[in-house]
Amino acid sequence: MQFDFNRNHFELFDLVPHFELDTAALEASYRQLQGQVHPDKFAHLSDAEKRASMQWSTRVNEAYQTLKSPLNRAVYILQLNGINALSETNTQLPPAFLMQQIEWREAIQEAQAAGNLAALQQVEREIAAQIKIWREQLQTQLDQQQDLTAATGTVRQLKFVDKVMAEIDDAYSVLDN
């Protein structure tokens, strides 16, 4: 079987390049492709064919992981449009967002210090609700408005909040011990 390494992740899975994604179609296409390129199917062939299978299997896995994650999918869509949303030279975030994340971090630290699981869960629920709003914004910005500038800002906020959510996970670990 001949595979084209020039196809983007959406093309690889025969999906429309949108933020809103049919995850069942992605999953089905992923399983079908993995069935075609899995290295075990090529164990009896030449080293070159085994290597090609391994490369394709790796590519399919990478593409799947990228498209499966809403944040990574948004970053990838922007990348397809020539935008590096997570460029280290772009450090601008809205002041209100920066203040909010400081408040969240302080609330996480206070909950952890007090051993207050309920307070930590409340902060997590609040952040999860905001993440849902941002994902809905991304869907509108990318799929309907094609507002790549606004989408870049939303992606940067989501990436930043990923780190805050990791702090919550760390706080849960501390409280569990």
pLDDT of residue 98: 93
| Distance, C-alpha 176 to centroid of its chain | 27
Distance between CA atoms of 25 and 27, rounded to whole angstroms?
5
- End-to-end CA, the chain: 52
Q: Rounded to two decimals, what is the model's pTM? A: 0.87
Note the pLDDT tens digit of each residue in 105-153. Answer: 999 999 999 999 999 999 999 999 999 999 999 999 999 999 999 999 9
**95-176 carries CATH number 1.10.3720.10:** no
* In the chain, ranges of CATH 1.10.287.110 domains: 9-68
- Interacting residues of 26 by C-beta distance below 8 A, sequence separation 6+: 13, 15, 64, 67, 68
Residue 88 confidence class, pLDDT cut points 50, 70, 90: confident
What would the two tokens of residue 96 be? 């209100």
CATH level 3 topology of 9-68: Helix Hairpins (1.10.287)
* In the chain, ranges of CATH 1.20.1280.20 domains: 95-176
